[in-house]
């Protein structure tokens, strides 16, 4: 596998664009479009929050055929808690893009991110859509990556290639996320395009596994959102032998997908709202992986641990208290805690429960004054 420069338009047959439609008062880009020149096999995972935004419902409906050809994303407005009109605007958005691209509406997914509870300004999307479609290009992945940001300070892109049975397969992706980042995804969106030829069932399996070990292993503030979505479109343009069963080819594709997801997940933590430090937490010696992840997340979501990191105070007692709070029946004699320097940008915390042979790794950041300031003024 090789890492290369690029984003969602790196794989063969994909175009993208982004622009300002007027949704954000700041004048920053707020509308993005991804497009595959041919219908693509598609898989996606969504937030587990019981309050879900209108685009989540529409995208789930349109994904019943396991296929997609375009994805429309807006930022600055979550289109959540917007009632029947929210659903109507989300469906109209998909139908609008379908007409302009001359494709079926069922092959268009929609995603939104931004402030909850405000009506989606559909007319602004309608007015901007023709220019958005006309500007689709292989060289505009960065414009799309910029248009999906909210409180993010940086765009998040990656592109990798892998050799599958003599054919070069490319994966290109972009993501957004900075706050409300918690297990089961968060206020984050990630879109992955690939020119691999792969079956829908295997694409789903690969995506779910990749998400579990990446986006479901990060937390900024322990808050779950309503709009989260990670999708993969695979259009088969690489010409590789069709991957329809487990084996060497599927393993290589899965490894590349996992790398892409973990890279984007780490970039989200590095760009966390008010974050000044990146924290990697490893819990070993657990009875099973679920137990290890539970303990690691308890540490990662501890405000006391996170503020200690911000203050460069290696207070191991806060880590011990976090582990003890989740009911693992670990004793003082069993628990072993190691720190790297809390004064550095990257902090490593390792905990051994001495209960078994399993481990898990999660990623978080510190909790700073700026986090409170950013979220206190979000509206």
Helix crossing, 248-270 with 200-212: angle to 10°?
40
- What does DSSP assign to residue 246? S
Whether the CB-CB separation of 146 and 237 falls below 8 Å is answered with no
Tell me the C-alpha distance between 81 and 275, whole Å. Answer: 29
**E-only strand ranges, the chain:** 2-4, 14-19, 31-46, 67-77, 108-115, 156-164, 167-181, 186-194, 229-234, 278-286, 336-339, 346-352, 358-365
* DSSP string over 2-15: EEES--TTSSTTEE
Tell me the C-alpha distance between 91 and 154, whole Å. Answer: 30
Tell the residue number behind the tokens 């072993």, with chain if given.
336
Residue 350 bears catalytic tag: no
How many C-beta atoms surround the C-beta of residue 6 within 10 A?
21
**Annotated catalytic residue within 155, 161, 187, 194:** 187
Which of the residues are catalytic? 187
């Amino acid at each position: 596998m090789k890492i290369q420069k690029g984003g969602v338009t790196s794989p063969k047959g994909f175009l993208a664009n982004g622009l300002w439609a007027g949704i954000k008062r700041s004048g920053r880009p707020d509308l993005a479009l991804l497009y595959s020149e041919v219908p693509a096999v598609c898989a996606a995972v969504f937030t587990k929050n019981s309050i879900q935004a209108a685009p989540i419902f529409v995208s789930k409906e349109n994904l019943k055929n396991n296929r997609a050809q375009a994805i429309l994303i807006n930022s600055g407005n979550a289109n959540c808690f917007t009632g029947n009109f929210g659903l109507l605007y989300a469906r109209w958005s998909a139908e609008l893009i379908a007409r302009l691209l001359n494709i079926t509406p069922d092959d268009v997914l929609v995603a939104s991110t931004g402030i909850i509870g405000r009506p989606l300004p559909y007319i602004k999307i309608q007015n901007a859509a023709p220019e958005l479609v006309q500007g689709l290009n292989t060289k505009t992945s960065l414009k799309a990556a910029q248009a999906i940001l909210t409180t993010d300070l940086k765009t998040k892109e990656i592109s990798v290639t892998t050799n599958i049975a003599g054919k070069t397969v490319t994966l290109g992706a972009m993501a957004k996320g900075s706050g409300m980042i918690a297990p089961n995804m968060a206020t984050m969106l990630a879109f992955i395009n690939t020119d691999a030829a792969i079956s829908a069932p295997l694409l789903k399996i690969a995506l779910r596994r990749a998400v579990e070990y990446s986006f479901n292993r990060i937390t900024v503030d322990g808050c779950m959102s309503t709009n989260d979505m990670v999708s993969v479109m695979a259009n088969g343009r690489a010409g590789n032998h069709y991957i329809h069963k487990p084996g060497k080819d599927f393993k290589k594709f899965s490894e590349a997908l996992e790398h892409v997801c973990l890279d984007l997940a780490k970039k989200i933590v590095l760009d966390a709202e008010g974050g000044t430090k990146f924290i990697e937490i490893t819990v070993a010696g657990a009875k099973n992986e679920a137990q290890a992840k539970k303990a690691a997340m308890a540490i990662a979501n501890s405000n006391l641990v996170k503020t200690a990191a911000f203050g460069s105070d290696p207070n191991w007692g806060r880590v011990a208290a976090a582990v003890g709070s989740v009911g693992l029946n670990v004793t003082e004699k069993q628990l072993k805690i190691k720190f790297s320097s809390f004064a550095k940008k990257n902090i490593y915390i390792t905990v051994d429960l001495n209960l078994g042979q399993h481990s898990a790794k999660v990623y978080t950041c510190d909790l700073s004054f700026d986090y409170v300031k950013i979220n206190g003024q979000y509206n």
